[in-house]
Amino acid sequence: MQRPEGFSLVEAVVVIAVAAILAGAALPLFLKSMTDARLARARKDMNVIAAALVSQMKDTGCRPRAPGGPGGADGRGDILWHSEGRRPGGAPWGPGDAGQSFQNLFTAPAAGTDRTLGRANALFGLGDLDFRDRFRYRGPYLSEPTARLTDPWGNAYLILGYNGNGQDLGLPIRIVCLGEEGTVEAGNLTGGPWNPAGLSAGNLMVQVR
Helices (H) and strands (E) in the chain, counts: 4, 4
Which amino acid appears at position 137 of this protein? Answer: Y
Phi and psi at 131, nearest 5°, equal -100, 20
Domain ranges of the chain: 9-208
The residues near 101 (Cβ < 8 Å, ≥ 6 apart) are 81, 82, 83, 84, 93, 147
Q: Are 88 and 189 in contact, with CB atoms under 8 Å apart?
A: yes
pTM above 0.75, yes or no: no
The string of pLDDT tens digits covering residues 79-137 is 778 888 888 877 777 777 766 778 777 875 544 444 444 555 555 555 555 555 567 77
Q: What is the pLDDT, as a whole number, of residue 132?
A: 54
- Exposed / middle / buried, residue 80 (Cβ in 10 Å: 0-12, 13-18, 19+): buried
